[in-house]
Amino acid sequence: MELFVGALTVFVLAVFVGFEVITKVPPTLHTPLMSASNAISGITLIGALLLAGQIDNPQLSRTIAIVGVTFATINVVGGFLVTHRMLAMFRKKK
């Protein structure tokens, strides 16, 4: 239970930080914001890696986790890279 309250505290505070930070993002950057935050949500990758890599996990669990690793990696790599491509365009100034 204590563990849960701790985790919940973190969750609630992070939501507030998110609200504070993101209201300051101008509409011009809304698309890169989405693709960047999307890449960040690919953080599930670390959960997937743990489950896929633990040798004493049942085979079924590890197999499912490998697919999870694949999905999350597409999310992370693709997300950060398209964000970079977009932001690089916004940056160049004459």
Partner 1 sequence: MIPPQVRDLIYILAAILFIFDLRWMSHPRTALRGNYAGVLGMVLAIAATVFSQSLDWGTMAIGVGIGGMIGLVAALKIKMTSMPEMVGILNGFGGGASVLVAGAAVIAAVSALSGSAVETVSLQTRVATVASALIGSVTFFGSYVAFGKLAEFLAVKWKLYTWQKAIKYGFSLIVIAGAGWYGFAGGIQPHGAGSNEGVMGIAIIVCGLLIGGILLRKKARFPGMDALKGVSFLASIGVGVMVVQQPENLMLFWVLAATAGVLGVLLTLSIGGADMPVVIALLNSYSGLAAAATGFVINNTALIIAGSLVGASGVILTNIMCKAMNRSLTNVLFGVMGPTSETPDADEVYKSVKSTSADEIAMMLDGVQRVVIVPGYGMAVAQAQHAVKNFAALLEEQGALVEYGIHPVAGRMPGHMNVLLAEADVDYDKLREMDEINAEMEQIDVAIVLGANDVVNPVARTDPKSPIAGMPIIDVDKARTVVVIKRSLSPGFAGIPNPLFSLDNTLMFFSDGKDAVQEMITAVKENL
Q: Which of residues 25-64 bind partner 1 (CB under 8 A)?
A: 25-55, 57-58, 60-62, 64
CA nearest 39: which of 78, 69, 68, 71? Answer: 78
Tell me the CA distances in angstroms from 83 to 26, 33, 36, 65, one per residue in order.
Answer: 15, 8, 6, 26
Q: Does 2 bind partner 1 (CB under 8 A)?
A: no
Cβ of residue 8: shortest distance to partner 1, in angstroms?
Answer: 8
Cβ of residue 60: shortest distance to partner 1, in angstroms?
Answer: 6
Count CB neighbours of 26 within 10 A: 7
Q: Does 21 bind partner 1 (CB under 8 A)?
A: yes
Structure letter (DSSP) for residue 23 = T
Q: Within positions 62 to 81, which residues make up the interface with partner 1, using CB under 8 A? A: 62, 64-81
Cβ of residue 6: shortest distance to partner 1, in angstroms?
Answer: 9
Per rule CB under 8 A, count of chain residues that contact partner 1 = 84
Tokens of 53: 């890599």
